[in-house]
Structure 1
Amino acid sequence: MSYQTTKTINLNTHIKGQGFPILCLHGHPGSGSSMSVFTNHLSKRFQTFAPDLRGYGKSRFQGNFDMEDHLDDLERLLEQYKIEKCLVLGWSLGGILAMEMALRSPERVTGLILVATAAKPYGNHPPISWQDNLFTAIAGIINLIKPGWRWNINTFGKRSLFRYLIQKHTPQAYRYIANDAVSAYLQTSAGATRALMQAIRSGYDKTSEIQNIHCPSLVLVGAEDRHITANSSLETSRNLKYCQSHCYQNTAHLLPWEIPDLILADIDSWLVKHPQATCQPN
């Protein structure tokens, strides 16, 4: 089923810093604020734009829509802020949209940083039991009240669905979950979920198309990712012409919250090696 929407919407956008623009696109469920692990660091040298996508965060939208509408909204955002060229960093769903933007407007996208994502996303998440949901609810509520509490992590967190999202059950990772994940989850609309599920059910696969992307790319992969498997992410990296990839052991889908210092250091190193991604002279 395809839904016809007639207009773009203004996206609530978190803007930080000054300099060359970096567009930071969140996953599902998520919001622009959940990209703070990247924007707090990158905005020291660049200007970061982290929108709440349609149906997420404060970008309210009533009703159904297609994934294509996200791209139209993002095109409008670039026009709104007079962004002629930008680097696009995308996490999960955001990475899929980043590749779509590079295919749609190659003259605008100077580089891609793709985190826990794939052109043909495949997951191997085990079935979810009632105990999983119960322990996740308990762990999440306690973590909101006392973020990163080791007792909660050991007693409930490691027995909850968090065990498929992270492998390093550190207080730091749980603080990110408390600060940036829970509110984003609660603000995600049913229409946004339907749009994503519709794309997945239709057999979304842009593996062959991404071979036409010519900007430099960086793919960051959690080796134990069950939501978008490491193999599907690495297949994407092999089909991108100018791509470097890193696969991090003992991490999963939320790897930027598990090993933020290492992720950011590898991004910084890649940016130094690819100055054209931020339109810097060689």
Structure 2
Amino acid sequence: MASKQKSEVKVLKGQEAENKVLEYVRRMNRPYGAVDVAANLKGAVPKAATQKILVALAEKGELVQKNYGKTTFFVANQAKIDTLSPEKISALEEECKRLDEENKAIALQIKAATTELTKIKNLPSDSELDEQLASLKDAIAKRTVLLQPLRSGAPPISAEEIAQIDADWLKWREEWIRRKKTFNSFWQLATDSLPPQDATILSEDLGIEFDTPEHATLEKSHLCVDTKKNLLKRKRSTSHPRRQSIREELIAILYRLTPRPFYRQVVMEQSNHLIEDASKYDFTCIT
């Protein structure tokens, strides 16, 4: 490998060396020793020559020499350093203020441009707009097909048909509520002594399907909330023929639907409680 070549620094002598040292000390405008000046000049002026030049400049009044113990420092004579006049300082301050205002205005423009760029980036691209337009056109075409019968003069649904639909809705919703209430009551009695896990297994074995989240959502909708006030309580029959053999029928049904011996034993244990409370419920809907 080729050895690194040292950078050649021209060694100054005489007046050139003196001017170099004076220019450096004035430009830095801080105290320096001879060693520091020679080192900072990168060897342009030898150390011994630097010491002599600094002393000579101090004797001429260009520098001020300060001794601190055995250490000597040199600093530029502040009286010979050019200073700015008050008018020049005022002009520079005005210029600085003007530039600061321009910077603020440019910063506001950059902020506004950045905000606008962000909005543009959030807008859909040309391809996305084409897809949205195609989707909207397809939806319009489908709606137009649905409106075509009305435009051709076909009669809409009559008021009587609407009334019949509302009546059917109230009728079957009332029936559904009664059946659900009856089932929940008997299911609670049948599984009251079972752990939740066993009750779940029993419902799976019997193939019982409980309400789904869709049912719960429907119950909270205006269709059900508005009709709850209009549902009439159904009078319970006091002389239904099935009440004569309710004990035998209930035990037979539950025993037949319960496949496991353990659950059958539980059903038999709960049968007395079921029969005691059976008179509270209406069984006309269970046929």
What interval of TM-score do these two structures reach, taking the shorter chain for normalisation? under 0.3
Q: 1 or 2 for the larger relative contact order (CA 8 Å, sep ≥6)?
A: 1
TM-score w.r.t. structure 2 length?
0.19
TM-score w.r.t. structure 1 length?
0.19
- Which of the two has higher C-alpha Rg? 2
